Amino acid sequence: MPFFKITYNDKYRFATLHHYGCVMHCPVCSYKLRSGANGVPGQSFPRPSSFLDIPTIQTALRRVPIDKVYFMGGEPTIARELPALLDFAKNTLKVKTYLGHTAGWKLPVENLDGANVGLKAWDKQVHLAYTGREKQDIFSSFANAAAAGLEMKANVVYVPGLVDQDQVRAIAQWIAGINAEIPLHIMGYIPVPGQPYTRPTIQQMQEVVDQCRRHLNHVAYSHLSSQEALDLTARDDRFAVRAIA
């Protein structure tokens, strides 16, 4: 029962199912901004005290007017309940279904409309050291999902000294080989406790964004401080949500 919370946005009529656990062990995982926890897979934030079963989730989702359901993590594709919940959202509620944050593990998935995949690094060795997983598995999964017609988005965290500009640019170039219309969001690294890396400068961010825009038609970026990252509702009303289960 790895989904532990559902939030709802009244303005944009979407619900988000929050999953505990991940297949990767990224040392710079932004979930650690709140917890400061170590890099053990699935433990970037403390284990919730309880989880939601499928009937409870279905009841909560029926109570609110919904246009979209998002699943996010950790890594939501490892949830045993995901196929049943996607089927319920797509075929009973008849709403759009997205993975709002996924490591890109085992895509595509039935009854899923789209996914926002975090692509971590271009260099194979860096990818393995960073995530504990082979780069090829993740990039193939992304390409397969795009080929299956899913609405794909990608994001990458630019971490100077770990994932440098050349790697971010190479990822953008690779995505463009699939479809230059796929949106890419570049996040400037937000320092997490216990890691040696520093935030990129404004100039570094601009450089990497400019490089990626030579390949892709929709490149956005964020460059938040740790404090700003902890209060996203002040910057974007899509984060103004309330818990419904």
The binding site for ligand SF4 (CB under 6 A) comprises: 22, 24-26, 29, 31, 44, 73-75, 103, 118
78 CB-near residues (< 8 Å, 6+ apart): 2, 19, 21, 22, 23, 105
Closest to ligand SF4 by CB, 2 vs 118, is: 118
β-strands 242-243, 3-9 pairing: antiparallel
Residue 25 CB-density burial (10 A; 0-12 exposed, 13-18 middle, 19+ buried):
middle
Closest to ligand SF4 by CB, 25 vs 90, is: 25
Q: How far is the CB of 24 from ligand SF4 (least distance, A)?
A: 4
Q: Which residues, in sequence order, are bridge partners of residue 158? A: 188
Q: How far is the CB of 127 from ligand SF4 (least distance, A)?
A: 11
Closest to ligand SF4 by CB, 199 vs 215, is: 199
Q: How far is the CB of 94 from ligand SF4 (least distance, A)?
A: 29
Q: How far is the CB of 65 from ligand SF4 (least distance, A)?
A: 29
Closest to ligand SF4 by CB, 10 vs 239, is: 239
19 CB-near residues (< 8 Å, 6+ apart): 2, 3, 4, 71, 72, 73, 74, 75, 76, 78, 79
Q: How far is the CB of 34 from ligand SF4 (least distance, A)?
A: 12
Closest to ligand SF4 by CB, 31 vs 174, is: 31
Closest to ligand SF4 by CB, 48 vs 93, is: 48
Q: At 239, list the tokens.
A: 């984060």
Q: How far is the CB of 167 from ligand SF4 (least distance, A)?
A: 16
CB 27 within 8 A of CB 56: no
